[in-house]
Every structure is written in structure tokens, then in C-alpha cells.
Amino acid sequence: MLAPAHLTFSPYFDIIGNMKNNDAVKALGALAQESRLEVFRLLVRKGSPGMAAGELSDHFGLPPATMSFHLKELSNAGLISSRRESRSIIYSANYAHMQELLSFLLENCCADNGGKC
């Protein structure tokens, strides 16, 4: 009997070790601003359906130009992706890149303590 696909397919963990220091610094730099961190955390909560740029702007009470700047920074860091739906641009969290960042940060966790945290 085969195991269900969701138990055997692990797309996020196949990429461990691929992130470089520069990519990590870029991602962490993008998150090192309060509004961008809040936007990213909201998009993580929203899941793959994401949110339209206008909805994000309204939700945070930010002018569209300011929201556009923050979305551009998060996108350039690889933390979010966008897609066009009709006349809207929908943004969602890039879970694979987020997993890469977390894996990079935890790569050598407790290594100097014999692997015991």
C-alpha cells in the first residue's frame, strides 16, 4: 500500500543548504522593517490564495505607493510572489524561500554542543 502523497513528498526540505549568506542577508534585511514584517506575516497567514495589493494597502492603512514599495522589497528578497488575476495583482508568501531561510538559520543548530540544544 502506498503512503498518501502529502506524507511522501517534501518539497520544502529538499532545498536545505542551497541558501547563500547574501540571500539570507537580503531576506532578513527586507523583514527588518516593521511594515514589511507585518505584511509578510499576514501573507503567511493567508496562505496560497494571498491578497490583492489594494486589499493589503487598505488593511494596513498605507498609501498604495508605500505598499507598492514594501511589496517590491519583499518580492526582490524572494519572500513573496505575485500573480495577475484580472485587474489585480495578488501577492502570497513564498513558502519555499521562507523554508530555505529558516533552514539556513538553523543549519548548524547546537552543533558546538554535541547537537543538544
Tens digit of each residue's pLDDT (9 = 90 or more) over 89-111: 999 999 999 999 999 998 888 88
**Can you give the residue ranges of every domain in the chain?**
20-104
Cell triple for residue 101?
A: 531561510
Q: Is the predicted pLDDT of residue 37 greater than 70, yes or no?
A: yes
Write down the pLDDT at residue 18: 66
Provide CATH code, domain 20-104.
Answer: 1.10.10.10
Tell me the C-alpha distance between 95 and 110, whole Å: 25
Compute the average pLDDT of residues 58-84: 97
pLDDT band of 117, cuts 50, 70, 90? confident
Q: Is the predicted pLDDT of residue 3 greater than 90, yes or no?
A: no
